């Protein structure tokens, strides 16, 4: 069981309220997408789940135990900075393996690292530095590392956000394939995105977040059988209905702000 529960989570930077009263439980093996507009606190929430910061109020638990700091029970993949740039792709994976399985022989660690790099189609890059790899390859290596340490929970913060559409689609498919591989030990995943279609393609459930302060607007089950074929999805009536629903939830936020009489300004626009 790898259930993650958020109990009335609030978070503030100084007196700026970022997250307010967030409650949600992800069942073991669920793939949860956190969907919301930029600035609604998705990354902040993921950092709380990672144990990198602590909530101002409320509690987070993994299998009923409080999350009080980072741990190897939660693998993390961020959009950038996922790999140490001064270590090769292979060394990055080996380092994580050494932390997760300290007693193992060096040769075994290298072998396992190579195995996981091969699993994500990176069999030839063990000795390459991240700087010599494309963005897509770096994220593959980060995924290989997250799966190699075999943590029951995976936290992903817009991991494909900086990639071109084709690479992104490939990595989405790869991620789902890896996640589905072992039904008995399926990871509980929290995946941050602001892309409605990505959320529906990947998620078992979508948590839609709203702004000012960040809160849960609604939780939606994605009732579309897997494998979800990208080409067929756009003609699927359940997909279309859910996409429309999620888009209107996201836009509702902006409409609420207009109702409040608050000014909406785009970034960089002068006062
Ligand atoms: P999202 O991931 O949904 O785009 P974030 O969690 O990154 O949102 O940010 C939520 C809010 O917290 C934003 O208003 C952002 O400006 C603010 N914020 C993020 N990091 C900091 C920080 N280190 N100090 C102060 N405010 C921050």
Domain-by-domain residue ranges, the chain?
1-73+154-271, 84-150
Which of ligand 1's atoms lies nearest the C-alpha of 209? Answer: 3
What does CATH list as the number for 1-73+154-271? Answer: 3.40.50.300
> Cα of 42 to ligand 1 centre, how many Å?
8
Round to whole Å and give the CA distance between 13 and 16.
5
Q: Are the C-beta atoms of residues 215 and 22 closer than 8 Å to each other?
A: yes
For residue 50, give the DSSP letter: H
Is pLDDT at 251 greater than 60 in this prediction? yes
Q: Which of 44, 55, 156, 190 to mutate to test the pocket of ligand 1 (most atoms within 8 A of CB)?
A: 44
Pocket of ligand 1 (CB under 6 A): 13, 18, 36, 38-44
Name beta bridge partners: 209: 216
Stretch among 160-164, 210-214, 260-264 having the lowest mean pLDDT: 260-264
Q: Indicate which residue's Cα is closest to atom 21 of ligand 1.
A: 13
Which of ligand 1's atoms lies nearest the C-alpha of 46? Answer: 6
- 35's CB contacts (< 8 A; 6+ apart) are 193, 194, 195, 196, 199, 206, 207, 208, 209, 246, 250
Model pLDDT, residue 260: 63
> Cα of 183 to ligand 1 centre, how many Å?
35
Is pLDDT at 266 greater than 80 in this prediction? no
Closest-CA residue to 85 (of 45, 125, 128): 128
Q: How far is CA 125 from CA 108, 133, 257, in A?
A: 18, 8, 48
Q: Indicate which residue's Cα is closest to atom 22 of ligand 1.
A: 13
Average pLDDT value for residue range 241-260? 82
Query: Band of the pLDDT at 270, cuts 50, 70, 90?
Result: very low
What count of residues does the chain have? Answer: 271
> Cα of 40 to ligand 1 centre, how many Å?
8
Question: What burial class does residue 225 get, using C-beta atoms within 10 Å of its C-beta: 0-12 exposed, 13-18 middle, 19+ buried?
Answer: exposed
Round to whole Å and give the CA distance between 72 and 150.
9
Query: Band of the pLDDT at 254, cuts 50, 70, 90?
Result: low
């Amino acid at each position: 069981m790898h259930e993650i529960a958020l109990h009335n989570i609030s978070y503030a930077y100084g007196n700026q309220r970022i997250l307010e009263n967030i409650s949600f439980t992800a069942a073991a093996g669920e793939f949860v997408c956190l969907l919301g507009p930029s600035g609604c606190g998705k990354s902040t929430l993921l950092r709380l789940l990672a144990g990198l910061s602590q909530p101002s109020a409320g509690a987070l638990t993994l299998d009923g135990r409080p999350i009080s700091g980072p741990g190897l029970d939660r693998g993390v993949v961020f959009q950038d900075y996922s790999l140490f740039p001064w270590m090769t792709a292979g060394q990055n994976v080996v380092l994580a393996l050494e932390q997760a399985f300290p007693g193992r022989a060096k040769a075994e660690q290298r072998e396992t690292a190579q195995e996981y790099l091969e699993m994500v189609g990176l069999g030839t890059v063990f000795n390459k530095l991240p700087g010599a790899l494309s963005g897509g390859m770096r994220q593959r290596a980060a995924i290989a590392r997250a799966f190699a340490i075999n943590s029951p929970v995976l936290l992903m913060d817009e991991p494909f956000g900086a990639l071109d559409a084709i690479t992104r689609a490939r990595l989405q498919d790869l991620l789902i394939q890896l996640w589905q591989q072992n039904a008995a030990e399926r990871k509980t995943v929290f995946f941050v995105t602001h892309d409605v279609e990505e959320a529906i393609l990947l998620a078992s459930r979508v948590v839609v977040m709203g702004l000012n302060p960040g809160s849960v607007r609604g939780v939606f089950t994605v009732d579309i059988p897997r494998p979800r074929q990208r080409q067929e999805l756009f003609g699927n009536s359940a997909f279309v209905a859910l996409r429309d629903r999620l888009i209107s939830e996201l836009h509702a936020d902006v409409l609420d702000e207009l109702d409040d009489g608050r000014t909406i300004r785009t970034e960089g626009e002068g006062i």
